[in-house]
Structure 1
Amino acid sequence: MESIAALGLACNVFQVISFGQETMNLVRDVYGKGSIEVPLAEYAVTLRDAAAHIKAFELPEKPRKHEVQLADNAAKCHLVARDLGEEINFLLAEKAKGDLLKTLKTVTKMAWRKRRLDRLEKQLRDLEKQMQSGLLARLCDKTDMMQTAQETLSQDVRHLLQQFRFGKTQASDLILRDGLETRQHISLESSKLRREIVEYAERSHEILFSRVDRVGQASATQVTSHLNTHRSDREISERRDRFIDSLSYYGMNERRNHASDSHSGTFEWIFSEIESEQEQHQWGNFADWLRSNESAIFSKSGDRMRFSCLTSSGVRGLQCSKI
């Protein structure tokens, strides 16, 4: 195992020990107060992720003694993290069912779990002592001899080595300080990410609103055009219906049904009179009338007849007549 890999594994072990101790205190508070007041699930996720990094390391084919010891401590630390995760899952499951307080009041279960917590806490203390007793010093000394390798170390690992060299050998303090700086860095990056997300969302909203506005205007124009066309068609239809209705009179058939038939001689009475008036000829001389074709049949008596017979003109007229 390379020195850098061994140092990284040691740092992960210390992180799990630190998170495990914090989680242990939180679990004890839950058993003491009877309620969960902290985001216990987040601690469980952090502990699980740190333990996953430990499990990912593998020993070389021919490991040395300190490498075997480091791997053994990492395996023990992983088991403690797993047991603590099971304890947290148990508490969260009981809370979800609403039976947390009732479960905590059960003396037998509390006693069994209390003994389990004591055992896990003792294992964490023992692991921390083993790591601080000489293993970390051996790894740091070996890392100091590799000047070229130090240049490839991350800033956090180099800071950890400097603090250890200055006499700050309490690993938990070093891990907690690095954890605090890590959380501050995460908080800063989260703030930057949040601002970028807000700016992107605002730009997206502006683009979306602009598109919606354009689509809305186009839709409004189209609807207005359709309404105007519909209104024009309706006006034309109303005018056509009004014109057709004006050609019809509801009493027309009634008046026709009440009209009586005309007399057979009405036509002759009307037009024959007009014809007789048009063809009537005024005769100024009786003799001329007698000579005309209109006097084909004529009879006369009285003074006028005697006058016609006694006068010469009358006699000539009678002689020329067809009587």
Structure 2
Amino acid sequence: MVSDRGLEVLRAIVQDYVALREPVGSKAIVERHAFGVSAATIRNDMALLEEEELIVAPHTSSGRVPTDKGYRVFVDRLQRMQPLTQAQRLAITRFLDESVDRDDVLDRTARLLSQLTNQVALVQVPIRRHALVRRVELVAVSERRVLAVLILDSGRVEQRVLDAGQRIDPEQAGALGRAFTEMIGDRSPADAQQRLAEAAASAPASLGPATAAVAHALGEMLQTGGGDRIVMAGASNLVREERDFHGTVTPVLDAIEEQVTLLRLFAEMGGDGGVATRIGRELHGPLGEASIVASTYSTDGIEGHVGVLGPTRMDYAGNMAAVRAVARYLTRLLSED
């Protein structure tokens, strides 16, 4: 069990490590922070934090750095979201008010958020929040491959060529498309995904592999949530922070270029209007050494996400405040259009 003072020591370690990029020792904490106790007492607190896997020694020095779990405790229990300065708020207003159309608004938002946070900025194109599935079309393009087309009533169209897992002729493909339309038509993407889970179980044995393959593909298309692309800015900021990643930052850059991955993450992070974070291992794969801070903007039946991506060693309080402020202003600006 970590004491209240121990948690404050964790706060000090996170803040100092973010600011200085150097492991933090007990002597430095005593010198920089007014705890009113000895370095030996701070070392005892740090030992308890290490037992709880909130901090770790990167090498044999006496300094410690936060773990992913430590950052999570900091964000959930210790960080105080810093309000933006009046100058920062004025800069947001002036810069975004000069936009000439919606695409320009999104482009400016990404550039502005990157400048405010020194991270990679991500702005999802706005989508209809209550879009429904209109129909599914399947077209046989070879003996075993079909083109799956998903159409929403918002006008959004997703398509993918996939291996059906078996031979399938044009008539079978058309019939299977009509069956999926009957199953998930006039349903929201979330409801449609739940129905897809039943598809393989109820499919005739003769089309079992094809049904399963199509259901999987449609689920992935629905999971992207409905943003067709993400506007990004500030990739050079990530390159400048390459020392915060083991080896090279290239896999992270490759992952964010794969927009489907980011769209899925945004969908998982929800859309309740608050600020959400995913830290380190919570992201999995090549993004497992990064963190994402995101919020939603919405107006008149459309919705999107705005956020920043950077190393786990980031200014969470400042980045969360910037993301929240920009998302709120973007909502107001689009409502006035």
**TM-score, normalised via structure 1 length:** 0.19
**TM-score, normalised via structure 2 length:** 0.18
More helix by share: 1
More strand by share: 2
Higher relative contact order (CA 8 A, sep 6+): 2
